[in-house]
Structure 1
Amino acid sequence: MKWWWSGLGLFLLAAVMVWFKPQRERAHGPMVEEVYVWQRVWGKDVYEAVKTHGGEFERIVVLGVEMDYGKSSGWTVQYFKDPISYAGEHEGTGLAIRVGSGAAATRWNKEAIAQVIQVVESLPDNLKVIQIDYDCPSSKLDDYVQLIRILKQMFPKRQYEVTCLPDWLDQDAFQALVTSVDGYVMQVHGLIGYGSAGTLCDPEKAKVAAERCGEYGKPFLIALPTYRHAVRLSNEGQILQVVSEGGGLRAGAEYHLASADPEEMAALVSEWTESRPELMRGIIWYRMPVTSDRMNWTWGTLDAVRKGGTPIRDLSVIAEKESDGLYEVSLVNRSLMREDWPKKIKVFIDGGRIMGGEGAHGYAFTQSHDGCAELRWLAQDPRPMLPESRLKLGWVRLEGAEGLKVVLSD
């Protein structure tokens, strides 16, 4: 009967261990907050933003170098003087080296590693933290680990961080990668795979990624978006162009928007402030608001979201009578947020008829069979409406009508 008692004992022991399985530790309270400054050339507005708001964050990470490899062109390396100088002059600033996906073709052979070593050697001596932002294919993480290990051997006084993507969590080499670095950033925003339905970040997927990161034994940050993508598609729905920094817009082309939602980001901040994985140090925002960067939030929006709230939206459309039968239609943004352009503005009349009209500033006027009309956004300029601004969108001429009503419509 000893075997029976022995088996029963093991069963009871296993049951007790499952019942009393310790829960993973949780962190509570305020988080570390860092911010990216991703401009390659710094004008007065970038310096002003960094000077005015940089102190609000634990650390600033600037984009200092971009490099990529092509089979026919070889290596291309661009150094950005302004951010590199800033990082060298301001202790504690992190510097990002952006590496394109073409580098994966090298399998990080000796020649490829030598290119990165040359870049690191050229950076200011007092620069302590280098963050590598590499578009590494998930299947090539093993090669990436070798690059990091060699850099740490060559430059042991520097700290190395990497940016990561959620699908890397499914790769066996992910553990080796995060073990080889001093810290990492999990990027839960992007056009493909992380956002849906016009948003750049799916909050539920972001929370799942954060919990999974907490299992790898290495402190990490979560990168959250503040920007928007303008996407130009082919007739077949394929992506032809992605614009996220305002330049390179094609005249006359139609763009689809994918934007960071302030309310959803604020909810994530609140939830993680209350409870998060113990190893989640906090958030790094992509990117610092700059007055000239209309594809990004304003500082007022980011400041509110950081505190778990959002600025009050106040977007309205008005029609004002200019002369007999002629009305001017204007859009008014009274909030501190940049606002997306309404897709449609419906025009209704009380009696009489609409004789005609014309759109302006990216809107086209059309009449419908029911006697109404609309101003339709042509989606040709995805840069949002400025805070506290007013813009004329067109005019409408009536005959025999007692009044006109305009309504925002999506």
Structure 2
Amino acid sequence: MLLASAVALLSACGRTPAPLTHDAYIWQRQWTPSLRHAVDASRDVVRDWRVLVAQASRDGRFQMFAPDRATLDASQRPVVLVVRIDGRLANFDPADLRERITRIVATWPQAAGVEIDYDCPTARLPAYTAFLRELKPALGHVPLSITALPTWIGSPNLDGLLAIPDESVVQVHAVQAPQAGLFNPDIAADWVSNYAKHTHKPFRVALPTYGSRVSWNADGTLLAVESEQAALAAGAVSSELYASPDTVLGFVKRLDTNRPDGLTGIVWFRLPTTEDTRAWSLATWRSVVTNHLDRAPLQLHLRDAGNGASDVLLENPASADTAAPARVALPEGCELADGIDGYRLAPNTTTPTLVAAQARPLPAHTTRAIGWARCRPGTLTTLTLQGPPVS
């Protein structure tokens, strides 16, 4: 009997963990036909929807949103209600906010959980912990989740905070510095590994499906971020940051192969729609989630523009979005050139070369003009580009 128990225990320890599940944030305030289509078209790959239902703004106002319940019900996927508290809101009335949240939950009897999204400064973790300690019993049997920042990992108050909710979602995408980009898989892997040491509850990892245009002050500090809406100051020095689908998919595979204890799934920020010009296409996101990312080499075309000049066109023939190439060397025979739409001419090159400055990603099956050139007769007009894109 003892031997049989030992064998059973060893067998259980050797089991392959369940596949990572995939949730998606629905962060849109307005429910448009495009959003309804995205929900309907994605229900087969999503475990839960995490739907923004309310927000405590920086000025203390409490805004409520009206998700389309009929669309959510038709998707037959569980719904987690997300309440965002602006991280710049230094103080709020805990009792009042707790009452508002519980009233919202009462109107969603089928809710699968409540998530609090509060990107507070690390110094406020004790106050946040006290708030969650009071909120948890007020929710009754409704599970509580929170989002968490990697900057909290060094705090001695993190373990106590994470002991309260039933699960947490650690965000590993952020705008840090011009050189750091939007998503760095090596840094993210360290964050996830260290975060796992601080929680004994299930947790998920939030990954990006979007890009941002970011402006910086002269000293390198962050000025503004344009992700969901225009926010940049006129004349500001800006750059395009992009979470490459290839890079993010590689990170998901990395997590699945070397999974920290407690990691159960991915939460995607945010569900793409055709109106969301800074997010991946819906098809690209689905390809990443299902691990079937279609790729084809980018094509460079020279199209006669008259008067001896040619338009320089970049084509993405694949059915998935891709980041813009860092450098585009024009064919031998081109003598003069310049870039447009995020590209500029590199100095001191043997043949004209366009380099990405603020180049936008290329959606699937699109062709975009990135410059012009003057080339000698007989110059190749189509080239296959090699090498990885900007991530």
Superposed pair shares fold, TM > 0.5: yes
Q: 1:298 to 1:40 in 2, by over 3 A?
A: same
Counterpart for residue 173 of structure 1? 157
- What letter matches 2:81 in structure 1? L
Distance in 2 of aligned mates of 1:120 and 1:302? 33
Offset, 1:27: 5.9
Counterpart for residue 312 of structure 1? 295
Please give the per-residue CA displacement for 1:184-214, whole angstroms capped at 9, x wherever unaligned: 1111221128x96424133354255245425
Counterpart for residue 389 of structure 1? 366
Offset, 1:313: 3.9
- What letter matches 2:127 in structure 1? D
1:101 to 87, 95, 116: 87
Counterpart for residue 139 of structure 1? 123
1:34 to 14, 17, 23: 23
Offset, 1:164: 0.7
User: TM-score, normalized by length of structure 2?
Assistant: 0.80
Q: Which has the larger radius of gyration?
A: 1
- What letter matches 2:42 in structure 1? H
- What letter matches 1:386 in structure 2? P
- What letter matches 1:133 in structure 2? D
Counterpart for residue 13 of structure 1? none
Contact 1:59 1:93 in 2 (8 A): yes
Please give the per-residue CA displacement for 1:206-233, whole angstroms capped at 9, x wherever unaligned: 2552454255321111112222222112
1:49 to 34, 38, 53: 38
Contact 2:245 2:322 in 1 (8 A): no
Distance in 2 of aligned mates of 1:185 and 1:370? 47
SS at match of 2:44: helix
Stretch deviating more after TM superposition (130-139 or 277-286):
277-286
Distance in 2 of aligned mates of 1:101 and 1:25? 42
Distance in 1 of aligned mates of 2:46 and 2:102? 25
2:63 to 72, 78, 82: 78
Stretch deviating more after TM superposition (30-39 or 169-178):
169-178
SS at match of 1:170: coil
User: Is 1:213 matched with 2:196?
Assistant: yes
Contact 1:29 1:274 in 2 (8 A): no
Contact 1:294 1:384 in 2 (8 A): no
Offset, 1:405: 6.6
Counterpart for residue 7 of structure 2? none
Q: 1:114 to 1:311 in 2, by over 3 A?
A: same
Counterpart for residue 118 of structure 1? 100
SS at match of 1:232: strand
Offset, 1:256: 1.4
Contact 1:97 1:132 in 2 (8 A): yes
Distance in 2 of aligned mates of 1:160 and 1:370? 57
State, as a whole percentage, how many aligned pairs show the same letter. 24
- What letter matches 1:118 in structure 2? R
Contact 2:45 2:286 in 1 (8 A): no
Offset, 1:392: 3.3
Counterpart for residue 10 of structure 1? none
Offset, 1:94: 0.7
Distance in 2 of aligned mates of 1:197 and 1:338? 21
Stretch deviating more after TM superposition (147-156 or 369-378):
369-378
Contact 2:87 2:118 in 1 (8 A): yes
SS at match of 2:288: helix
Contact 1:26 1:275 in 2 (8 A): no
Stretch deviating more after TM superposition (136-145 or 82-91):
82-91
Q: 1:329 to 1:170 in 2, by over 3 A?
A: closer
Counterpart for residue 67 of structure 1? 56
Distance in 2 of aligned mates of 1:155 and 1:260? 36
Distance in 1 of aligned mates of 2:172 and 2:83? 19
1:150 to 126, 131, 134: 134
Distance in 1 of aligned mates of 2:266 and 2:14? 19
SS at match of 2:120: coil
Q: 1:203 to 1:311 in 2, by over 3 A?
A: farther
User: Is 1:300 matched with 2:286?
Assistant: no
SS at match of 1:142: helix
Contact 1:317 1:406 in 2 (8 A): yes
Return 5+ residue gaps in structure 1 as ranges.
1-23
- What letter matches 1:30 in structure 2? P
Offset, 1:167: 2.8
Offset, 1:285: 1.6
Q: 1:249 to 1:290 in 2, by over 3 A?
A: farther
Please give the per-residue CA displacement for 1:32-53, whole angstroms capped at 9, x wherever unaligned: 2211121111211111010111
User: Is 1:273 matched with 2:266?
Assistant: no
Equivalences for 1:325-340 in 2 at 5 Å? Answer: 325-340=308-323
Q: 1:340 to 1:207 in 2, by over 3 A?
A: same
Counterpart for residue 5 of structure 1? none
Distance in 2 of aligned mates of 1:208 and 1:359? 38
Aligned-residue RMSD, C-alpha: 3.5
Counterpart for residue 224 of structure 1? 207
Contact 1:361 1:392 in 2 (8 A): yes
Please give the per-residue CA displacement for 1:7-64, whole angstroms capped at 9, x wherever unaligned: xxxxxxxxxxxxxxxxx99963412221112111121111101011123111110112
SS at match of 1:63: strand
